[in-house]
Amino acid sequence: MHNFGYETTAAEVADAFSNQIKGKTILITGPTPGGIGYTTAHTIASHNPHCLILAGRSLSTLSATKSSILSSLPQGTNPPPIKLLVLDLANLEQVREAAEEVNAYEEKVDVLINNAGVTGLGWGTGEAAGGKGVEKHFLINHLGPFLFTNLLLPRMVDERGEKAERARVVMVASRGYRFGGVRFDDWNFENGRAYVPVQAYAQSKSANILCALSLAEKLKGKGLLAYSLHPGSIWTNISRHTKTEDLRLPGWTDQNRNLTDNGNVKWKTLEQGAATQVLAAFDPNIEGEFLKPRLHLLANGDYLEDCAVRMDELKSIAPRLLDKGDAERLWKLSEELVGQEFDY
């Protein structure tokens, strides 16, 4: 049993599960330098994966990311093949094109880490199926990953032999779910009239948790493992859109956007922030083992924080996120908005 916790780093987790990383094809969305996606990719790269697929909006940024990873690997490391995939989660048609490109690869994806996301956006919409306008947090953080994941799943789960390890999907959610759930009757905030950015972010992160629950339930017969997680409070470029006042009022930063140390937030480093998603992606004992400190049997579809299960907190704070009825309701809404049904 590994004694992982709040201070555990991605490197420590990867070292522990190096044999599970070796030989796998891993797709990571949002691997921008300065974020936990980059840290995850960089950490995994030194453990002999078969292939890394880095997915993001800008090919030039992805190219710089690839160069940075390869140039900073430990001496003596065999550099893995790294493929670059243009993926714009705000554009569902482009998401389809990206999924088609991945499905044409010789490699099939073993692990999909849906890490990309946004927060703090002002009111705005993107286009869903039938020309419907969809609030951008919901579109980028949930609908784009929902569509992308489902388009990749047939190859991920159907082309595995009986002895193959199970494919995994990791949804990087957030403890921000506490600020609001999925507004099933008004997911577009009265077309902006009732818009509150933190609630929009919370809706999208709640959707991530429910989506993992649905994936685990719907594809358990095909061997898929799906998990959601909160990486921790990490100061990354995801906060670049958030208004200074919205960061200052909770005591997170001062008026110059410098982090405060007033005890309100336990800040993590990027290395610590990436640890839980590395664990969710590769821990071979993730089923059938008790993870400290909560001593809760980690089951398919569970939610993690600090490299441990936090289902008890969901049950007490947001039981709606454990409701399979709500998970199915979100699934149907998502199918409607992306214009495609996914039956498993």
Please give the chain's pLDDT, 344 residues, in tens. 688 998 999 999 999 999 999 999 999 999 999 999 999 999 999 999 999 999 999 999 999 999 999 999 999 899 999 999 999 999 999 999 999 999 999 999 999 999 999 998 999 999 999 999 999 999 999 999 999 999 999 999 986 655 567 999 999 999 889 889 999 999 999 999 999 999 999 999 999 999 999 999 999 899 999 999 999 877 655 444 455 555 454 444 555 555 565 556 677 999 999 999 999 999 987 653 444 444 445 679 999 999 988 787 788 788 889 999 999 999 999 999 999 999 99
Q: For 224, what's the count of Cα atoms within 13 Å in the CB-facing half-sphere?
A: 29
CA pair distance 138, 88, nearest whole angstrom: 14
- Of 176, 189, 171, nearest to 120 by C-alpha is 176
pLDDT attached to residue 102:
99
pLDDT attached to residue 256:
55
Bin 230: left if φ > 0, else alpha if -120 < ψ < 50, else beta: beta
SS (H, E, C) 250-293: CCCECCCCCECCCCCCCEECHHHHCHHHHHHHHCCCCCCCEECC
The DSSP symbol for 140 reads I
pLDDT attached to residue 294:
43
pLDDT attached to residue 318:
85
> 10-338 sits in which CATH class?
alpha beta
Q: What is the DSSP string of 68-134?
A: HHHHTSPTTPPPPPEEEEE--TT-HHHHHHHHHHHHTSSSPPSEEEE-----SPPS-EEE-GGG-EE
Contact assessment for residue 52 and residue 80, using Cβ atoms and an 8 Å cutoff:
yes
Q: For 219, what's the count of Cα atoms within 13 Å in the CB-facing half-sphere?
A: 26
pLDDT attached to residue 289:
41
CA pair distance 311, 322, nearest whole angstrom: 8
pLDDT attached to residue 49:
98
* Owner of token pair 């059938």: 288
